[in-house]
């Protein structure tokens, strides 16, 4: 390898490092959004909700920046094989992160609506646990990305079932509350909606983890994972 080639390689590695650092930063912001969005809702904290909404702008901006940097790197360095796979994976992961951020923002947005409704006993705790599980899954996914850790990514994929089970439990709870007292219907419809958002965040994090398995192994995780729609509505369907 000539000195020039080494020099170019290093510049390329720096580009990749920079893009991956942006993903980690974006991921951290989205982790915060998940926790703060849920906390604002559970504590009926409209001020925190407003912060979550404002922070989502930074997440969106970072996605755009990552897309631009990724395109610039491809144009400038013409990467192939693994390097190209990394960049294309980064674009996909950034896209999924942006959507998770959106869901978190939507949860925060409901804070003021929920504040005016009858509290539904018990559901807040389960919602918080679900959100914490998704946040941990996201944290582990980002770690798996940085360390190219296939086993950790696969672990995240498996844990999505726990989130789905929590969702199922909540769904049945809401149904019961609504049947018991029609005055619970409106609040339960909101809470059901929020629970479904958290469950979908789990799906998106799982997609990211699958992308990391692909990144580290070059092939998609096996297709046996029962995807997405493994929720209460489906009892007796699958």
Q: Give the interface with a second copy as residue ranges (CB under 8 A).
A: 64, 67, 70-71, 74-75, 78-81, 84-85, 88, 91-92, 95, 102, 105-106, 109-110, 112-113, 175, 178-179, 182, 185-186, 189-190, 192-193, 196, 220, 227-229, 233-234, 236-238
CB of 88 to a second copy, least distance (A): 6
Among candidate residues 225, 203, 226, 231, the one with its CA nearest the CA of residue 141: 203
The answer to whether 103 and 207 are in contact (CB under 8 A) is no
Q: Shortest distance, CB of residue 49 to a second copy, whole angstroms?
A: 10
Which are the contacts of 1, defined by CB distance < 8 A and separation ≥ 6?
Answer: 9
Distance of CA 139 to the CA centre of its chain: 9
**Contact 72/81 with Cβ under 8 angstroms?**
no
Nearer to a second copy, 140 or 199 (CB): 199
The CB-of-118 to a second copy minimum distance in angstroms stands at 14
Give CA 102 to chain center in angstroms. Answer: 9
CB nearer to a second copy: give 106 or 161.
106
Query: Shortest approach of a second copy to residue 182 CB, angstroms?
Result: 5
Distance (Å, whole) CA 80 – CA 161: 36
Burial of 115 (0-12, 13-18, 19+ CB in 10 A): middle
Query: First-to-last CA distance in the chain?
Result: 57
Q: Record the tokens describing residue 151, joined without a space.
A: 């086993």
Query: What is the C-alpha to C-alpha distance for residues 33 and 37, in angstroms, rounded to an integer?
Result: 5
How many Å apart are CA 154 and CA 140, to the nearest integer? 10
**How far apart are alpha carbons 86 and 142 in whole angstroms?**
14
Least distance CB 61 / a second copy (angstroms): 11
Q: Which is nearer to a second copy, 90 or 152 (CB)?
A: 90
Nearer to a second copy, 147 or 193 (CB): 193
> Please, what is the minimum distance in Å from the beta carbon of residue 81 to a second copy?
7
Q: Which is nearer to a second copy, 118 or 227 (CB)?
A: 227
Query: Based on CB atoms, which residue is closest to a second copy, 24 or 185?
Result: 185
């Amino acid at each position: 390898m000539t000195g020039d080639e080494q020099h170019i390689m290093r510049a390329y590695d720096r580009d990749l490092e920079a893009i991956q650092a942006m993903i980690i930063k974006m991921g951290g912001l989205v982790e915060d959004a998940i926790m703060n969005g849920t906390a604002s809702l559970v504590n009926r904290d409209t001020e925190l909700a407003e912060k979550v909404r404002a922070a989502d702008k930074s997440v969106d901006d970072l996605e755009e920046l990552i897309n631009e940097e990724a395109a610039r790197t491809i144009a400038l360095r013409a990467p192939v094989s693994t390097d190209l796979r990394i960049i294309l994976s980064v674009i996909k992961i950034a896209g999924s992160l942006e959507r998770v951020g959106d869901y978190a923002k939507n949860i925060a947005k409901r804070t003021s609506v929920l504040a005016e409704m009858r509290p539904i006993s018990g559901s807040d705790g389960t919602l918080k646990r679900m959100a914490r599980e998704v946040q941990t899954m996201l944290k582990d996914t980002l770690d798996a990305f940085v360390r190219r850790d296939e086993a950790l990514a696969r672990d995240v994929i498996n844990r999505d079932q726990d989130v789905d089970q929590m969702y199922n439990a909540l769904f049945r709870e809401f149904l019961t509350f609504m049947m018991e007292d029609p005055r619970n219907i409106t609040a339960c419809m909101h809470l059901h909606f929020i629970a479904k958002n958290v469950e979908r965040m789990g799906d998106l994090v799982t997609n990211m983890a699958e992308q990391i398995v692909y990144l580290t192994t070059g092939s998609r995780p096996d297709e046996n994972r029962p995807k997405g729609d493994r929720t209460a509505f489906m009892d007796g369907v699958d």
